[in-house]
Amino acid sequence: MKKKYSWLLFDADGTILDYHAAEIFSLESAAASFGLEISAEVLNLYREINSALWADLEKGRISSLELRVKRFDTLATRLGWDISAEKFSQAYLRELGDSGFMMPGARKMLAEIPRDIHKAIITNGIKDTQYGRLMKAGLIDIFEEIIISEETGIAKPAAGFFDYTLERIGSSQIENMLVIGDSLSSDIAGGAGYGIDTCWFNPEKLENNTSVKPTYEISDWDGLFKIL
Ligand SMILES: [Mg+2]
């Protein structure tokens, strides 16, 4: 028998919002204001540095305030750039917060979800940036709650993040909830660890080499409607 979910908890980046497109656009704009260019090598190096720092943040080792500057400090050191990492970070976040790139098909999918199903965003990110991007994409009113890790001080996959989520949405009926996201380490591990069903959005059909087991796996949004 099909399960009836009354709350869909969507991750933002890589699920609803196209983080990669926004990231490239914002890095290029910030670099241009410093007279610098973002080559493919620079982009790869930045992504390597940034994802290592986000992994530290998910483990609670650094704060989002530290992360936002440290990634550019490390990048500048590695590349010999003579810049203020603080100023570069501000320029980057200003651009990022003003970009509303969405994942293909996400807007249509959101519009097709039956009206009696509640929707929330659960995202690890910086408050102003995530709000800015969701606003730019015209998504603020589509979700009943927008829950951003920086507001809670705790990031997915920590249970504390989900405690806060339940409080915000005003429901503790986790059996009626579904976490939907592209990250096994934050969305799926977080939801599963908390006892919430999970749906791994895996458009690139990556192999799951982890011990994290999603309840469902989909590679496109049609897959979600087969679950609901
Ligand atoms: Mg994501």
pLDDT score recorded for residue 2: 57
Query: What's the pLDDT tens digit per position in 200-214?
Result: 999 999 999 999 999
Residue 178: pLDDT above 90?
A: yes
Q: From ligand 1's centre to the CA of 201, what distance in Å?
A: 9
CATH superfamily for domain 7-17+103-227 = HAD superfamily/HAD-like (3.40.50.1000)
- For the 19-96 domain, the top CATH level (class) is mainly alpha
- Range 173-180 average pLDDT: 97
Q: From ligand 1's centre to the CA of 35, what distance in Å?
A: 31
Query: What's the pLDDT tens digit per position in 22-79?
Result: 999 999 999 999 999 999 999 999 999 999 999 998 888 999 899 999 999 999 999 9
Q: From ligand 1's centre to the CA of 82, what distance in Å?
A: 32
How far is it, in rounded angstroms, from Cα 133 to Cα 43? 21
Give one DSSP letter per residue of 54-71, joined into a string. HHHHHTTSS-HHHHHHHH
- The b/e string for 169-197 (b: 16+ C-beta within 10 A; e otherwise) is beeeebeebbbbbbbbebbbbbbbebebb
CATH 3.40.50.1000 range(s) for the chain read: 7-17+103-227
Q: From ligand 1's centre to the CA of 80, what distance in Å?
A: 31
Query: Any catalytic annotation for residue 220?
Result: no
Which residue out of 11, 13, 18, 73 is catalytically annotated? Answer: 11
CATH 1.10.150.240 range(s) for the chain read: 19-96
pLDDT score recorded for residue 64: 87
Query: What's the pLDDT tens digit per position in 88-144?
Result: 999 999 999 989 999 999 999 999 999 999 999 999 988 999 999 999 999 999 999
pLDDT score recorded for residue 4: 85
Report the C-alpha dihedral over residues 135, 139, 201, 224, rounded to 10 degrees: 180
Q: From ligand 1's centre to the CA of 173, what distance in Å?
A: 24
| CA distance to 73, 76, 98, 137, 162, per residue, from 123 (Å) | 24, 28, 17, 15, 11
Q: From ligand 1's centre to the CA of 150, what distance in Å?
A: 15
Q: How many CB atoms lie within 10 A of CB 140?
A: 12
- Give the confidence band of 3 by pLDDT, cuts at 50, 70, 90: low
